[in-house]
Amino acid sequence: MKKLIFCCLVVLMGACKDDKKDPEPETDYAPSFVGVYETTTVEGGITSRYKWDVTTEAKNQLNVKYTKNTEVKVSGTTISLTQEYPLVAVKTTAQDNFEVNEKVNVTQSTNQALNVRLSGIGSRIVNGSGVAQINITLKSSEASTGLPDEEVYLEFKKK
């Protein structure tokens, strides 16, 4: 009888055991992207300098102050345009990846209003020189002008 009661207690204790483990907290990948990244492109007399100043304020969310300085040389004159794109909801999707998908009110040196949708998937890698960089194909569209969407591939090096 004692053995039967003991066996029942063992079975009862096993049934009452909490099988739920504490859920693992979600990893925050955002801090590893923080820094300043830059790149320059030259195409057909147009030089564009791109800068991303990446910060974070929330878990797995990046804020990017994206600046594009464009210079066009025409007939011995240089025309400059500076555009600032404040990206406030860039989401990290994995340790080395993030997604851009938001509408942005662009501040321009011409003081003209511009509202664009930016989208793309970025990847962080370490290049052959051992420098961290972000590679992204960035798509922009602005419906009100009727201009075609623009798509540019950029390789930002960390400074």
pLDDT tens string 15-41: 565 556 666 677 899 999 999 999 999
In a domain, 14, yes or no: no
Q: By the 8 A CB rule, do 121 and 99 touch?
A: yes
CA dist., res. 153 & res. 82, Å (int) = 19
Residue 12 domain-assigned (yes or no): no
Task: For residue 45, tell me if it sits in a domain.
Answer: yes
56 in any annotated domain: yes
One-letter amino acid of 17? K
Average confidence (pLDDT) over 108-135:
93
As for how many domains the chain has, the answer is 1
Tokens of 11: 């079975």
**Residue 4 belongs to a domain:** no
The CATH number given to whatever domain includes residue 117 is: 2.40.128
The token pair that represents 121 in the structure block: 């998937």
pLDDT digits (tens, 9 = 90+) for 59-117: 999 999 999 999 998 888 999 999 999 999 999 999 999 999 999 999 999 999 889 99
| All residues at 6 or more sequence positions from 90 whose CB lies less than 8 Å from its CB, including other chains | 61, 62, 63, 64, 98, 99, 100, 102
Count CA atoms within 13 Å of residue 133 on its CB side.
Answer: 14
- Its domain, for residue 118, covers 30-158
Q: What pLDDT is stored for residue 1 in this prediction?
A: 61
Look up residue 66 and give its two tokens. Answer: 């994206």
The model scores a pTM over 0.85: no
pLDDT at residue 23, rounded to an integer: 67
Rounded CA separation 131/155 (Å): 12
Is 6 contained in some domain? no
Alpha-carbon span 130 to 52, nearest angstrom: 19
Continuous segment of H or E residues that includes residue 8: helix 2-16
Q: Is residue 131 part of a domain?
A: yes
Judge whether 64 lies within some domain: yes
